[in-house]
Structure 1
Amino acid sequence: MFGRRRRKRDDKTGRAAETGSAARRNGAAGEVSFDNEIEPERPTEQVAKEADRHRATGPWDSTEDVPEARRMDLGSLKLPMEQGTDIQVNVAQDARGRQKIIGVTLVRGKTALQVQPFAAPKSSGLWDEMREELREQVTKQGGQAEEHSGTFGPELQAVIPVQGKKTEDGRQLGQRVRFIGVDGPRWVLRGVIRGEGASKPEMMAEAEQLFANIVVVRGEQPVPPSELLEITVPKQLQERMAAAVKERNAHRAAQRGNAGSSPNGSASAGQAGRTPDEAEGS
């Protein structure tokens, strides 16, 4: 009942055909398989999960009948290229000082949507575990998080304390954040919405539409559950990222030279590669 159309290649004609896959509810132990069962014809498509109903209009898996749109190819993600939307690659430094891509942020006006694709087991439920972990993290930071039923199913709406910012009467200021996510075929796509998209209804809808237009490319390589799928960037964007890191390091060095030390010099994460227009289509 929650089947999703998937692309299938006909060996004789090479033309794409659409097929409907019937939904089947998996138990807690996962899907039961009988390898010795003899069948005249075995379907090659992935069985739709109950969680697929939360992404009836996206986000999409690359094997599905994806609506046409201009998208930027970033390996495990194909992101919608829309007028007025900037795409920023989020990077962090590992213990050896090397740059690692940890996510991508789509910025439209005063709304920011960070997305991260993770590997997941065939059975659904990883997003449930992630929400509980996020709730614990928010609480430990002194914030508040409540679960709501959203466009993509269960989501967390939170208020996170902003360090160093208080009202005149000493009360801690907080930032509204929405944690959204969906279980896909062997993947989970997680989104973090900040700014107006986390509070204003009309902006919330725009952020959700961006999220829905994303295509996840899981690939066939084995990846442990909960591990981030590899995000790659075009060569030209890599050069922009390298230039941004070089500029940031030079700025920090200048600050240390002028003030003796920089309170922000040890930051391990940042954003680079801001580009609204360059893409490889999907």
Structure 2
Amino acid sequence: MFRRRRAARERQAEPAPVEEAAPEPMRDSGPWDADEPHPDRDRVDLGGLRLPVIEGFEIQVNVAGDQIVGAVVLGGDSALQVHAFAAPKSSGIWDEVRAELAEGVRAVNGTVSEREGPFGVELAGEVPVEGQGRQPVRYLGVDGPRWFLRAVISGKAAADPAAGEALEGLIRDIVVVRGDEPMAPKEPIRLQLPAEARQAVEQHAARQKTPDLNPFQRGPEITETR
């Protein structure tokens, strides 16, 4: 009897098992952080950005000096520019960046106002374009974990909601690769050409050092915007 009572007391003293918290469900859409679960699909790897490949759209790169600082997706009469930046761990920067963008648009005699969009508050307005009059434009921002993604939609998709849905869907499937290195807020996340494109550039540069045996042969082409 004594032994049975002591065993009962020992069982009562044992701590209750701790229930493990259920993992958080995966979000329905991005932009995605490279370290979180996200759909596996065909994307162009630009290092700090991975852009989904969509039929009918062409991907170009923005170049500043010798650095790739952003990407442009062209489709029909519409364009989408995307840039990725470092951001503080504790807070986002879209509120601050949005105010700077609005000030810049008004400085060039453009018009812009805030409105609610699919990614939260965005800017919509018109900007003067040399030789083309005024062009509709939308500025979208997404604050991620230690990164910020800025997207600019221009052309038909900026004024036509139906045309804008395709580019909005593309933004939702972008993957941002922040990396672990220390970066100042608003510092551009480093981008690079895909491996195949870099190899083509290197081969083309090597051929330039040898005699041109066929002057009518075209070298590899990489589309970029400046």
Which residue of the other structure, out of 154, 167, 178, is the alignment partner of 1:194? 154
Does residue 140 (structure 1) correspond to residue 100 (structure 2)? The answer is no
SS at match of 2:115: strand
Partner residue, 1:20: 24
In the alignment, the residues of structure 2 paired with residue 82 and residue 164 of structure 1 have an alpha-carbon distance, to the nearest angstrom, of 30
Does residue 220 (structure 1) correspond to residue 180 (structure 2)? The answer is yes
Q: Is the Cα–Cα contact under 8 Å of residues 90 and 102 in structure 1 kept in the other structure?
A: yes
Does residue 62 (structure 1) correspond to residue 29 (structure 2)? The answer is no
Shift of 1:109: 1.6
> What stretches of structure 2 of length at least 5 have no aligned partner?
1-21, 205-220
> What amino acid is the match of 2:137?
V
SS at match of 1:225: coil
> In the TM superposition, what are the counterparts of 1:97-136 in structure 2 within 5 Å?
99-136=66-103
SS at match of 2:167: helix
Partner residue, 2:193: 233
Task: Provide, for residues 122-180 of structure 1, a one-character-per-residue CA deviation record: whole Å limited to 9, x for no partner.
Answer: 12330111100000000100111100100000100021012345xxxxxxx31111001
Question: What TM-score comes out, normalization by structure 1 length?
Answer: 0.61
Task: Provide, for residues 201-260 of structure 1, a one-character-per-residue CA deviation record: whole Å limited to 9, x for no partner.
Answer: 1111111001111000111011111010000112442466797xxxxxxxxxxxxxxxxx
SS at match of 2:64: strand
Question: Matched residue pairs, number?
Answer: 185
Partner residue, 1:153: 120
Cα gap change, 1:155/1:241 in structure 2, threshold over 3 Å: closer, same or farther? Answer: farther
Cα gap change, 1:153/1:146 in structure 2, threshold over 3 Å: closer, same or farther? Answer: same
Q: Is the Cα–Cα contact under 8 Å of residues 94 and 148 in structure 2 kept in the other structure?
A: yes
Stretches of 4+ aligned residues off by more than 3 angstroms: 238-243
Q: Is the Cα–Cα contact under 8 Å of residues 92 and 148 in structure 2 kept in the other structure?
A: no
Cα gap change, 1:159/1:124 in structure 2, threshold over 3 Å: closer, same or farther? Answer: same
Task: Provide, for residues 77-131 of structure 1, a one-character-per-residue CA deviation record: whole Å limited to 9, x for no partner.
Answer: 11101111111011122xxxxx221210111222111100000001233011110
In the alignment, the residues of structure 2 paired with residue 135 and residue 228 of structure 1 have an alpha-carbon distance, to the nearest angstrom, of 20
In the alignment, the residues of structure 2 paired with residue 127 and residue 56 of structure 1 have an alpha-carbon distance, to the nearest angstrom, of 22
SS at match of 1:121: coil
Cα gap change, 1:164/1:78 in structure 2, threshold over 3 Å: closer, same or farther? Answer: closer
Shift of 1:197: 1.1
Partner residue, 2:47: 75
| Identity in percent | 45
> What stretches of structure 1 of length at least 5 have no aligned partner?
1-17, 22-54, 94-98, 166-172, 244-271, 276-282
Segment of structure 1 superposing worse, 130-139 or 156-165: 156-165
SS at match of 2:54: coil
Q: Is the Cα–Cα contact under 8 Å of residues 238 and 273 in structure 1 kept in the other structure?
A: no
> In the TM superposition, what are the counterparts of 1:81-96 in structure 2 within 5 Å?
81-93=53-65
> What amino acid is the match of 1:109?
G
Partner residue, 1:174: 134
Cα gap change, 1:241/1:144 in structure 2, threshold over 3 Å: closer, same or farther? Answer: farther
> What amino acid is the match of 1:209?
G
Shift of 1:72: 1.2
Q: Is the Cα–Cα contact under 8 Å of residues 86 and 274 in structure 1 kept in the other structure?
A: no
In the alignment, the residues of structure 2 paired with residue 196 and residue 241 of structure 1 have an alpha-carbon distance, to the nearest angstrom, of 33
